[in-house]
Amino acid sequence: MSLLKKIFFLLLLGISSLLQAQNDVPCTAPESHDFDYMLGEWQVYQQDTLIAFSTFSKEFNNCTVQEFYREPRKNYFRNSDASYNPIKKAWELCTYDNQGEYYQFQGNYASKSIQLTSTKILPNTKSILVKLVYSNIQENSFVRELKISMDSAKTFITFNKVNYKRIMISPINGKKIYKEIIVKASATEVYERWTQKSGIIQFLAKDCYVIMEPGGPYEIYFMPDAAKGFKGSEECKVLSFIENKMLSFTWNAPPEFPTVRNLKEKAWVVIELEKIDDVHTKVKLTHTGFRDGEEWNKVYAYFDNTWGKVLEWLRDSF
């Protein structure tokens, strides 16, 4: 190892030791829990109109709070990552969206609200001060405001103000949809219909994005030309599979049921293949993971009617 590399290595080791001495166990400062009230699923309202859905979760060994905000009808999506910096004694929050907007905020919890600020340089080289405020914080609601100042923080104008209301997710109620059909095809052929793009487009949808591994995408695009969030089973995942015998995957609701569709916690479907002989297979479909609630009941009724038709499409595709 060259002398320069040795010096660089020792420098890194020294910095690492210093940081560890200042914070032996990462992300354990009391302030690192300031955002914990946000964890979960939320509906977002502008005045009295439901406009979006948001999910907050703890990630990276509970060191960051991540928000996934989605306003699919406008094809607008935003992510943010927030973490508490014990050295600066401040929160650092990075937010970015699918329209190219990017901010880096810094601030603290104070006076029963979280206030963070960022400086943004405009194309004309002038700068504006942007303030992100979480206020009126309650167990199941809070207000998010984005404010801007053009005069060095002397006055602020509210650019965007929305109300977050927590979605109360009930426990899984045990309801199941069960359908079965016999198709004139081998178990191998039927399995390929559900797991390969060449098979899926023959009976189920025009396009898809499927990777057969646990946690891989199981996205069936019934309307591939629609805006993101309206194409089909977006964000659904492969759960498990046994080649030529079974497949399970998460499943969302159609766009006309937006609250259920946008929940992070999804229902799931199990496909089982039972060989009758070399040219006949019984296909058994179970859809479960339903919860209580008016919209959930409508989703159940929708799929109770739809899955039988899907199995008929499968049978007729051979």
Q: What is the pLDDT of residues 127-142, one digit of tens each?
A: 889 999 999 999 999 9
> Are the C-beta atoms of residues 63 and 83 closer than 8 Å to each other?
yes
**Please, what CATH class does the domain formed by 177-316 belong to?**
alpha beta
> Are the C-beta atoms of residues 177 and 195 closer than 8 Å to each other?
no
CATH 3.20.20.140: does it fit domain 22-166? no
Distance, CA of 33 to CA of 14 (rounded, Å) = 29
> Are the C-beta atoms of residues 121 and 130 closer than 8 Å to each other?
no
Cα dihedral value 219, 224, 230, 232, nearest 10:
-30
Neighbouring C-beta atoms of residue 252, cutoff 10 Å: 19
pLDDT along the chain (318 residues), means of 10: 55 52 70 92 95 95 94 93 94 95 93 90 81 94 95 90 95 96 98 98 97 97 94 97 98 96 95 96 98 96 98 98
pLDDT at 12: 56
pLDDT at 64: 95
* Domain residue spans of the chain: 22-166, 177-316
pLDDT at 6: 54
pLDDT at 9: 53
Distance, CA of 5 to CA of 27 (rounded, Å) = 31
pLDDT at 123: 76
Tell if the pTM clears 0.95, that is, is over it: no
Cα dihedral value 8, 9, 14, 20, nearest 10:
130
> Are the C-beta atoms of residues 79 and 67 closer than 8 Å to each other?
yes
